[in-house]
Amino acid sequence: MISSHTVIVLHAHPDDEAIFTGLTMRRLADAGARVILVMATDGAAGLCQVPLSRGESLRSRRLAELERACDLLGVARLEFLGYADSGAHDGPYQAGTLGAAPVTEVARRVARIADSEGASTLVHYDPHGIYGHVDHVQVHRVGARVVRSLGLAGYQATVDAAALRAGPQHVVRRAAGGPKDVGVPAFQISVTVHAQGPDLLAKMAAMATHASQVETAELDPARFAVTYGREWFVREGEPGAIDALVAASAGQAAEVVLGP
């Protein structure tokens, strides 16, 4: 039963949760799982796509966007680790950033949350952090350590590299500066979650709340389902909540497509 699962979803920056796991989080919540989002950084080193209000910082804007996205995605608890965004560079990383934080320290904090919640499953990133950002790579290192130490079912959020090249422009390609070294080959993917209904609209709405980062063009209904209607995972260890979700939905409604 999916309702017996508590799932920890560990992400690097506000908006990552909607882009890479929004469908999965919403579907897990709708199926009765308890979804806990652990956000590692404030995202304050990102570029802002919209004007900020007087007295508003990018940090406060991104955290407010995150809270609205959590409501849309069915998050039962949001835990903010409080590290600063390391920025998109090769270092050195300033004290207080996730890039400078010891992996063991961050992993202990995440493990305490997972243990207190009685979690069965933890979601993080593939070893390249999907597209190589240091904060994403740190999330992988932390997540992999917690999965091993607590014996959880682990799922590495990733993208299908070939699908990314063949389909419409995905926001991760802009973040990475192109499709090179983004995601993994299809044969490495263990589980694919497809949009099956209102979860696709929930993902679109959650991405739209992150207006400081997600451009309006990314939300084009004519191509949104093709670009963002699948989420890919590499499983670590035994099957957990995401496999149970996919198994429970087998034979139900086909993938939803927005637009003509």
Go through the domains of the chain in sequence order and give each one's CATH number. Answer: 2-249 (3.40.50.10320)
- Reply yes or no on whether the pLDDT at 72 is more than 90: yes
Distance CA 192, CA 173 (A): 20
Contact 25, 75 (CB under 8 A): yes
Task: Output the CA torsion 138→22→190→241 (10° steps).
Answer: 100
Distance CA 19, CA 159 (A): 11
pLDDT score at 259: 39
- Reply yes or no on whether the pLDDT at 90 is more than 60: yes
Question: pLDDT tier at 178 (50, 70, 90 boundaries)?
Answer: low
Distance CA 182, CA 247 (A): 28
Task: Output the CA torsion 139→141→145→148 (10° steps).
Answer: 100
Segment 130-149, tens digit of pLDDT: 999 999 999 999 999 999 99
End-to-end CA distance of the chain: 36
Segment 8-62, tens digit of pLDDT: 999 999 999 999 999 999 999 999 999 999 999 999 998 898 999 998 999 999 9
